[in-house]
Amino acid sequence: MGKTDKSRALYARAQEVIPGGVNSPARAFGAVGMEPLFLERAEGARVTDADGNSYIDFIGSWGPMILGHARAEVLAAAGEAAAKGMSFGAATELEVQMAELVRALVPSMELTRMVNSGTEATMSALRAARGFTGRDKIIKFSGCYHGHVDALLVKAGSGLLAGASPDSAGVSASCAADTLIASYNDADSVRALLKEHPGEVAAVIVEPVAANMGVVPPEPGFLETLRALCDGDGALLIFDEVITGFRLAPGGAQERYGIRPDLSTFGKILGGGLPVGAYGGRKDVMEVVAPLGPVYQAGTLSGNPVSMAAGMKQLLLLKEDPGIYAHIEALGARLFGGLTQIARRAGAGCCVNAVGSIGSLFFTDGPVRDFASAMRSDTGRYARWFAHMLGAGILLAPAQFEAAFLSAAHTEADVDAVLAAAEDFFAGKE
């Protein structure tokens, strides 16, 4: 890896004016024992840092860049919209077109409300669920991350797992008291909570493919059982598709697995790289949301025209060219299948989980099927893996408990570069 003088200098400056020098802990590189790289530009599957070092990028802004960075059509759509005004604080046709497109892609989204992040989407979906059911409790799964919503920062994944605890300080006990914790891929843990709290649970919120404790796929029958348990109890089933939405299929994980949730949340890909989130689902549920109903939710920049234009262009490019999904699925099979073979040959005490174009290499024998098994990973060895790959010009997620993301801009050569560097790593050049 080349010199990082400019990143180091920027980090020193950043720490003077930004908590920890970053605007999101996931970018801090603390989990891999390094100072963060400061990136300057990106195009296609590559990013370039402040010192001019170029990397094949598998962070992809944590999911939004499914077409690759700086896709010309998306840039043009954003620029064209911006030239007409950055924000109005009034309704626009673009918002209607976006909601119609989301419903066309995801039929369960009978009504959609745009917000500005995945966090806002999950926070609002929970409030709508509580307002519709009149119930207070929610069930989430240990290791799943749904954004920094107070009630969901309990046994959460992603950046919390780089720190001391999967719980966050600053969340009042009273706020967390209504959050019940189940175990991913263990439907009996949900059944027990519903039995213990009959008629009290407003919603079960789940990442249909967990991707914030590393990637953990749903085992056969898990999602179907959640659907049945919610139907039996009257709790709503919320699919948090902020990562999986528009990635695992045009209609997200709910299309891939054939499950219809009551509410869904989206973000990332939906905005084409600009700040966007959305929640929605059943018409009868979403009709509780203001100005129709008593559940208040609002936002100055919700449905921002520039974000709508960029996000819609990205979704339309995905919709018009199904070959993109075939490409990223094939690259996923090549990358994660290749890593599985290499690790197995090396008897290396690691395993790979993947679904389509997202996946994770865990430094534990596995299988990794839930939070407890993910936590057995050797995070120190992951840090050495990360550094080795960075030295080979490959930028992976700077933490064990995240996902690697492929895009339409990645090539077989990009994947083969990862596999070659992995061969070196497992050949003892750690």
> Which positions ≥6 away from 13 have C-beta within 8 Å?
none
Q: Under the phi-then-psi rule, with left for phi > 0, alpha for psi from -120 to 50, and beta for the rest, what region is 356?
A: left
Q: How far is the CB of 286 from ligand KE4 (least distance, A)?
A: 19
Token pair 């175990």 is at which residue?
A: 183
SS3 79: helix
Kindly provide the b/e burial profile for residues 18-36, where b requires at least 16 CB atoms within 10 angstroms of the residue's own CB. eeebbeebbbbbbbbebbb
Residues 58-77 binding ligand KE4 (CB under 6 A) are 62
Q: How far is the CB of 140 from ligand KE4 (least distance, A)?
A: 11
Identified binder of ligand KE4 from the candidate list 130, 140, 146, 334, rule CB under 6 A: 146
DSSP string, 99-152: HHHHHHH-TT-SEEEEESSHHHHHHHHHHHHHHHH---EEEEETT----S-GGG
Residue 195 a catalytic site member: no
Question: At 60, which amino acid appears?
Answer: G
Stretch that binds ligand KE4, among 5-13, 88-96, 143-151, 386-394 (CB under 6 A): 143-151
Task: Assess 95 for contact with ligand KE4 (CB under 6 A).
Answer: no
Nearest to 228 by CA among 276, 188, 255: 188
> Which positions ≥6 away from 91 have C-beta within 8 Å?
303
Stretch that binds ligand KE4, among 114-122, 292-300, 307-315, 340-348 (CB under 6 A): 114-122
Task: Assess 307 for contact with ligand KE4 (CB under 6 A).
Answer: no
Task: Assess 118 for contact with ligand KE4 (CB under 6 A).
Answer: yes
Residues 29-58 binding ligand KE4 (CB under 6 A) are none
Identified binder of ligand KE4 from the candidate list 108, 122, 142, 353, rule CB under 6 A: 122
Residue with smaller CB distance to ligand KE4, 123 or 409: 123
Residue 240 a catalytic site member: yes
238, 262 Cβ separation under 8 angstroms: yes
295, 111 Cβ separation under 8 angstroms: no
User: What is the spatial distance between Cα 173 and Cα 168, in angstroms, rounded to a whole number?
Assistant: 11
The one catalytic residue among 11, 55, 145, 382? 145
Residues 373-402 binding ligand KE4 (CB under 6 A) are 402
Question: At 343, which amino acid appears?
Answer: A
Task: Assess 143 for contact with ligand KE4 (CB under 6 A).
Answer: no
The one catalytic residue among 51, 240, 370, 414? 240
Q: Would you give the DSSP letter of residue 22?
A: S
Residue 178 a catalytic site member: no
Count, residues near ligand KE4 per rule CB under 6 A: 20
Q: How far is the CB of 253 from ligand KE4 (least distance, A)?
A: 11
Q: How far is the CB of 420 from ligand KE4 (least distance, A)?
A: 27
Task: Assess 18 for contact with ligand KE4 (CB under 6 A).
Answer: no
Report which residue's Cβ sits closest to ligand KE4: 118
* Contact residues: ligand KE4, CB under 6 A: 24, 26, 62, 117-119, 122, 145-147, 158-159, 207, 212, 240, 242-243, 267, 277, 402
